[in-house]
Amino acid sequence: DAGVIQSPRHEVTEMGQEVTLRCKPISGHDYLFWYRQTMMRGLELLIYFNNNVPIDDSGMPEDRFSAKMPNASFSTLKIQPSEPRDSAVYFCASGSSAGNEQYFGPGTRLTVT
């Protein structure tokens, strides 16, 4: 298996622009998680899905952030409009209800100028 795939790996954008991050989970996994990692706040869970349904979005910082999972093999995290404080590494992870661990993608490094 190719593992969790994220794109793009790096994104540089200007404040006010819309940013879309993409994730393809491991085939057969029924959980998908979005995390944000910064030096100041560490690793934060933003939202997670089970069977494509959002279960807990309490970590989403504000309405500028939205996430969707239209099918079992694809999810997006969108920031509109983006702000410099959104600069971080965003990770997607997937897992199976048959196991306990989560498998992380390589991350998307977002820089908002």
Partner 1 sequence: AQSVTQLGSHVSVSEGALVLLRCNYSSSVPPYLFWYVQYPNQGLQLLLKYTSAATLVKGINGFEAEFKKSETSFHLTKPSAHMSDAAEYFCAVSEGPQGAQKLVFGQGTRLTINP
Query: Judged by CB, which is closer to partner 1: 22, or 81?
Result: 22
Could you say which of 20, 22, 30, 54 contacts partner 1 (CB under 8 A)? 30
Element (H, E) at 81: none
- Is there binding between residue 111 and partner 1 (CB under 8 A)? no
- Is the distance from CB of 56 to CB of 67 less than 8 angstroms? no
The CA distance from 31 to 72, in Å, is 9
Q: Interface with partner 1 includes 60 (CB under 8 A)? A: no
Tokens of 1: 């298996």
Chain positions contacting partner 1, by CB under 8 A: 4, 29-31, 33, 42-43, 45, 48, 56, 91, 93, 95-107
